[in-house]
Structure 1
């Protein structure tokens, strides 16, 4: 009986304790999307929508077909993501500043929590945005091994993020661009 009496205060304390606060998102993660993404629009009519958050946290497998399937299921229109990925990679590796700008959505999130508001500001700050670390991450990234979640497609260890924006209310048309470079 003494053992039970000894445990009662501890059990009451545990029962009354507040659960830990949810973890804050990583400081270098891209901000949440504004507007509906293609995947959100599809999720409202997809019976598998409840499984999407759990699947979104998993990394894409090594096969390019897996990356396409993963993007299609989480974000929609994998072909558009691959097209932007390839165009951005070619432009960055080739040092083609004008072509890099074509693949970017403004305002662009950059390192240090800054936002680049337009192409002119991007060009003036090109060397501080497209750093050697960014070039290395982009040049070494294989599309078949990209990380995918509801925030987009990640290149490298988060140096670059791509995501889409719906261009109409039904999200039948979308545009994929680079949204973060850090």
Structure 2
């Protein structure tokens, strides 16, 4: 009977107490596992990001699909909203993709801004250094990401336009103080 007398207040206290709120995640904690692609996960954790819809496998039916141009229009709208001249981004994207897929080193260099950020936090300072290290920079993984990317499905945020899962980034640079003229180039390859 004494055990019962001790248990009743403990049980009543436990029944009346509020559960502790769940702990807040650390600021540098990785996003929760959701089955999302890296671009979707990144977009869900960055309030400044606007994620593009994921590209579906291309089929002959896609050519007749009226929604296909809408995806490209969506990419253009996101770029216009966050970065500026979408036509300039599309032009550089297309030229870079054509050059990379075709293995045209000189054309690839034309679409790059130096110093170029590359993996490992290193920078390539000019076209000569880029050409000497071409195979180390334009790796098979970069070629695969670039060739698989469609302009209508690029990821866009205030840092630029992302190709693949971050293998390549494009962004514009102001050419005058008022930023009335800009130049879009590839700024990162990793």
Structures share fold, TM-score greater than 0.5: yes
In structure 1, list runs of 5 or more residues that go unmatched.
26-52
1:139 aligns with 2:132: no
1:83 aligns with 2:88: no
| 1:99 to 1:151, Cα distance in 2 relative to 1, 3 A | same
> d(CA) in 2 for partners of 1:4 and 1:118?
74
Instruction: Name the residue aligned to 1:58.
Output: 51
Instruction: State how many pairs are aligned.
Output: 154
Question: Which one of the candidate residues 22, 29, 53 is aligned to 2:27?
Answer: 22
Given that residues 154 and 160 in structure 1 are in contact (C-alpha distance below 8 angstroms), is that contact kept between their aligned partners in structure 2? yes
SS of equivalent residue, structure 1 residue 56:
coil
> d(CA) in 2 for partners of 1:5 and 1:170?
67
Within 5 A, what are the aligned runs for 1:26-41?
none
> d(CA) in 1 for partners of 2:142 and 2:104?
14
How far is 1:113 from its partner? 1.2
SS of equivalent residue, structure 1 residue 109:
strand
Q: Which has the larger radius of gyration?
A: 2
> d(CA) in 1 for partners of 2:122 and 2:105?
20
1:175 aligns with 2:180: no
| 1:134 to 1:3, Cα distance in 2 relative to 1, 3 A | same
| 1:5 to 1:140, Cα distance in 2 relative to 1, 3 A | same
Given that residues 50 and 155 in structure 2 are in contact (C-alpha distance below 8 angstroms), is that contact kept between their aligned partners in structure 1? no
SS of equivalent residue, structure 2 residue 130:
helix
In structure 2, list runs of 5 or more residues that go unmatched.
1-8, 31-45, 55-67
> d(CA) in 1 for partners of 2:29 and 2:181?
32
Q: CA RMSD in A?
A: 2.9
Query: For each residue in 1:109-131, what CA deviation from the matched residue of structure 2 results, as whole angstroms up to 9, or x when unmatched?
Result: 11111110100000000000000
SS of equivalent residue, structure 2 residue 172:
strand
Query: For each residue in 1:80-102, what CA deviation from the matched residue of structure 2 results, as whole angstroms up to 9, or x when unmatched?
Result: 00000000001101111010000
How far is 1:23 from its partner? 2.2
Given that residues 108 and 181 in structure 1 are in contact (C-alpha distance below 8 angstroms), is that contact kept between their aligned partners in structure 2? yes
TM-score by length of 1: 0.72
> d(CA) in 1 for partners of 2:156 and 2:29?
20
